[in-house]
Structure 1
Amino acid sequence: MSRKKTEIDSESGPVTPRVPVDRFGFLKQEHGNSPERFSKARSTSSTDHDREERKVRKWRKMIGIGGSDWKHYVRRKPNVVKRRIRKGIPDCLRGLVWQLISGSRDLLLMNPGVYEQLVIYETSASELDIIRDISRTFPSHVFFQKRHGPGQRSLYNVLKAYSVYDRDVGYVQGMGFIAGLLLLYMSEEDAFWLLVALLKGAVHAPMEGLYHAGLPLVQQYLFQLESLVRELIPKLGEHFTEEMINPSMYASQWFITVFSYSFPFPLALRIWDVFLSEGVKIVFKVGLALLKYCQDELVKLPFEKLIHALKNFPEDAMNPDTLLPLAYSIKVSKRLEELKKDYEKTIGKPVQP
């Protein structure tokens, strides 16, 4: 994937890993975001290879050259598109499809030269904060490991550009993981406009409230999640109340980074496929599915062990093929709207996106 050279780019050779990496580029001895824990479940048989090839051909036909057929196909067969996205977008097409379903491709085409202007000619009050946090973003991925290497430079450029583009939001630490994830699948400029599409709400509700002072949208989401846990998993909800556990202790990062921080990478990608297509409700569904899947163990744990367990879910619970079907079966859309109104009543004003 080509990445445009911008302000702080300089000549640099490719990153040559000294240790083995998995198929996504994560160091194999690292487990936080590495998919190696699921390698046994992945077959490399010719049957699986043929199936994947057929899947890619279907997607290429659906997309058209450079995305030319996408909107027409979505209008004609929205249910087919939804089903295929939920099954997982082929990795080789993921970057393009993410841009198409998020609305970011349209933003890019409507704003030629804007990204370059923001990176090269503007200054940001957040530059030092961004530089400080760069090395903390996907530290086990070869693209971001090298100090001042191509990955860190690209990440700096995207975050700096956004902090200038939207000075009300500026830069908040969790944004680095979202920008970093996008950069693994697209160029700097494409990643920037997808970030804009998400925070400004090109297709779904704006995300910028996740990063405003006081994190107002995070507070709303945590209120909604706590209510849903009590309603849909009452035994666990009661145990949380007894142990004085609230969602801010374990779920804030779920929303701020959309599971891109600390979750196994294959699971994060599958969630992002659906998140970009269907919106934030998938974050609630996945969170509730995790809690539901693990509730028999969680209800036995006292406070300290409970906090640890809620940040370290077992491997079987984090398998996309196990977790996502359970998540899809949980219906939350209508209740989320009702709970949003309840939350706004409790704080006495509408939540600003």
Structure 2
Amino acid sequence: MGGSVIDLDIWTSRLKILSEMDKKKAFDDTEPGPAPSRAVDRFGFIKPEQSNSPDGIPKGKSIHEREREERRIRKWRKMIGVGGSDWKHYVRRNPHVVKRRIRKGIPDCLRGLIWQLISGSRDLLLMNPGVYETLVIYETSASELEIIRDISRTFPSHIFFQQRHGPGQRSLYNILKAYSVYDRDVGYVQGMGFIAGLLLLYMSEEDAFWLLVALLKGAVHAPMEGLYQAGLPLVQQYLSQFEKLVMELMPKLGQHFVEEMINPSMYASQWFITVFTYSFPFHLTLRVWDVFLYEGIKVVFQVGLALLRFCHDDLVKLPFEKLLHSLRNFPEEATDPDVILPLAFSFKVSTRLEELQKEYQNPGAGTSETSSSKRLQPLISKTMSRVGSRVVSNLTADRK
């Protein structure tokens, strides 16, 4: 786990939790399998045979590149101070500098700590000592068996999660079980595992738990628990907003979607449910999360629009089956963060998203809908209602 900021007390607590979980027999006694012998990329994912993926082990950097990276890390350390002590003061004084640097990407060695600072989860952790340990050890959840069943489906090609009942899977279980107890109205939905798994690669499980709480309960940005509540109400809202943005910003493609009977629930649900942690290259996922934690959900809309804009000329020519396949399998060049993120940031969507949210929540009070929007919205709602909390059950294949 690169970039972790974990002190001795947290690790001691973590080991105690794992020991207690053994006593409760949350897992069977099956011996874990052998560690994988295949090559892994720089993030810990097992590389496909003959892979030329850009997120593989990087080539040696030149002296100039290493010096530039070291200067960049020093700038970030100066921004945050020791243990993050200067962060809030720096953000208040230099918000535009912070935003610009985050959009360029947070240094990987500092990512775990900075994610906690910008999400508000560090404050939650400090205000709730001992709560996580209590949730894991002393509480029971109706979702425990479901969580155990799904654990192996989360980042199955990452070495940290590959070992059956190993430390990665056990930590992931602890977080998901604890959250299902912490918020019994939401409980557990499979898509949560990809978010918790991503966080575990950069911080301890207690830190990851409180960051999950910060996101779903809205410590800094709007609460996201509606992504996982029964009927997935927030997913329905986001898909409605996204469909209208496509119609407004790329009318030719939007009309082609109408003609081919393609709606966002067919390809974009997992973008919002897992915030691009599923099926996208990990180097892009990390850059998206840097911005997402600081600027909020709008970046998911922006990246989605950028993907469609980048592939626009090809997409408008494709019939239904090929179109759907392309929307679920973007070309490698479209997922290069240095290419797609500047394009994403060119979409200024904040004000329009607020307007579309009001229209969605108060139908008839906003501007009149286009005929295609009126036709597609019932289809989106019907699809999401039918799928419900199982919309993420298809997230079972290897994300790589």
| TM-score relative to the length of structure 1 | 0.94
User: Which sections of structure 1, spanning at least 5 residues, go unmatched?
Assistant: 349-353
| Percent of aligned positions that are identical | 76
| Partners of 1:122 and 1:291 in 2: CA distance | 45
User: Could you say if the C-alpha distance between residues 40 and 67 of structure 1 is closer, same or farther in structure 2, counting changes exceeding 3 Å?
Assistant: closer
Counterpart amino acid of residue 21 in structure 1? V
| Equivalence for 1:48 | 65
Counterpart amino acid of residue 216 in structure 2? L
| Partners of 2:22 and 2:230 in 1: CA distance | 32
The offset of 1:8, in angstroms, is 2.4
| Equivalence for 2:21 | 8
User: Could you say if the C-alpha distance between residues 105 and 339 of structure 1 is closer, same or farther in structure 2, counting changes exceeding 3 Å?
Assistant: same
The offset of 1:37, in angstroms, is 3.0
| Equivalence for 1:25 | 44
The offset of 1:268, in angstroms, is 0.3
327-336 or 41-50, larger mean C-alpha shift? 41-50
In the alignment, does 2:123 pair up with 1:110? no
Give 3-state SS (helix, strand or coil) of 1:305's partner: helix
| Equivalence for 2:284 | 267
In the alignment, does 2:169 pair up with 1:152? yes
Report 1:189-228 matches (<5 A): 189-228=206-245
* Number of residue-to-residue matches in the alignment: 346
Give the alignment partner of residue 121 of structure 1, picking from 138, 146, 157.
138
User: Could you say if the C-alpha distance between residues 136 and 228 of structure 1 is closer, same or farther in structure 2, counting changes exceeding 3 Å?
Assistant: same
Counterpart amino acid of residue 114 in structure 2? V
Displacement over 6 Å in runs of 4+: 10-15, 40-43
The offset of 1:164, in angstroms, is 0.2
| Partners of 1:76 and 1:9 in 2: CA distance | 48
The offset of 1:345, in angstroms, is 2.4
In the alignment, does 2:277 pair up with 1:281? no
In the alignment, does 2:285 pair up with 1:244? no
Counterpart amino acid of residue 99 in structure 1? Q
User: Could you say if the C-alpha distance between residues 14 and 187 of structure 1 is closer, same or farther in structure 2, counting changes exceeding 3 Å?
Assistant: farther
| Partners of 1:41 and 1:95 in 2: CA distance | 21
User: What are the Cα deviations for residues 54-104 of structure 1, in whole angstroms up to 9, with x where unaligned?
Assistant: 110100010101000100100110100000000000000000000000000
8 Å Cα contact 1:22-1:35 kept in structure 2: no
The offset of 1:341, in angstroms, is 1.1
User: Could you say if the C-alpha distance between residues 15 and 179 of structure 1 is closer, same or farther in structure 2, counting changes exceeding 3 Å?
Assistant: farther
In the alignment, does 2:350 pair up with 1:333? yes
8 Å Cα contact 2:40-2:56 kept in structure 1: no
User: Could you say if the C-alpha distance between residues 347 and 170 of structure 1 is closer, same or farther in structure 2, counting changes exceeding 3 Å?
Assistant: farther
| Partners of 1:30 and 1:122 in 2: CA distance | 43
The offset of 1:17, in angstroms, is 3.5
| Equivalence for 1:68 | 85
Give 3-state SS (helix, strand or coil) of 1:8's partner: helix
Counterpart amino acid of residue 24 in structure 1? F
User: Could you say if the C-alpha distance between residues 271 and 98 of structure 1 is closer, same or farther in structure 2, counting changes exceeding 3 Å?
Assistant: same
| Equivalence for 1:295 | 312
| Equivalence for 1:351 | none
The offset of 1:43, in angstroms, is 6.4
| Partners of 1:154 and 1:275 in 2: CA distance | 24
Q: Give RMSD over aligned pairs.
A: 2.2
User: Could you say if the C-alpha distance between residues 39 and 118 of structure 1 is closer, same or farther in structure 2, counting changes exceeding 3 Å?
Assistant: closer
User: Could you say if the C-alpha distance between residues 160 and 108 of structure 1 is closer, same or farther in structure 2, counting changes exceeding 3 Å?
Assistant: same
| Equivalence for 1:77 | 94
Give the alignment partner of residue 105 of structure 2, picking from 88, 93, 101.
88
In the alignment, does 2:201 pair up with 1:184? yes
8 Å Cα contact 2:119-2:215 kept in structure 1: yes
Counterpart amino acid of residue 201 in structure 1? G
User: What are the Cα deviations for residues 25-60 of structure 1, in whole angstroms up to 9, with x where unaligned?
Assistant: 0001179xx993355987622211111111101000
Counterpart amino acid of residue 132 in structure 2? Y
| Partners of 1:98 and 1:146 in 2: CA distance | 27
| Partners of 1:249 and 1:30 in 2: CA distance | 30
Counterpart amino acid of residue 56 in structure 1? I
8 Å Cα contact 2:55-2:281 kept in structure 1: no
Counterpart amino acid of residue 38 in structure 2? V
Give 3-state SS (helix, strand or coil) of 2:171's partner: helix
User: What are the Cα deviations for residues 98-128 of structure 1, in whole angstroms up to 9, with x where unaligned?
Assistant: 0000000000000000000000000000001
User: Could you say if the C-alpha distance between residues 328 and 189 of structure 1 is closer, same or farther in structure 2, counting changes exceeding 3 Å?
Assistant: same
| Partners of 1:131 and 1:168 in 2: CA distance | 20
User: Could you say if the C-alpha distance between residues 347 and 208 of structure 1 is closer, same or farther in structure 2, counting changes exceeding 3 Å?
Assistant: farther
User: What are the Cα deviations for residues 327-353 of structure 1, in whole angstroms up to 9, with x where unaligned?
Assistant: 0111000000111111112399xxxxx
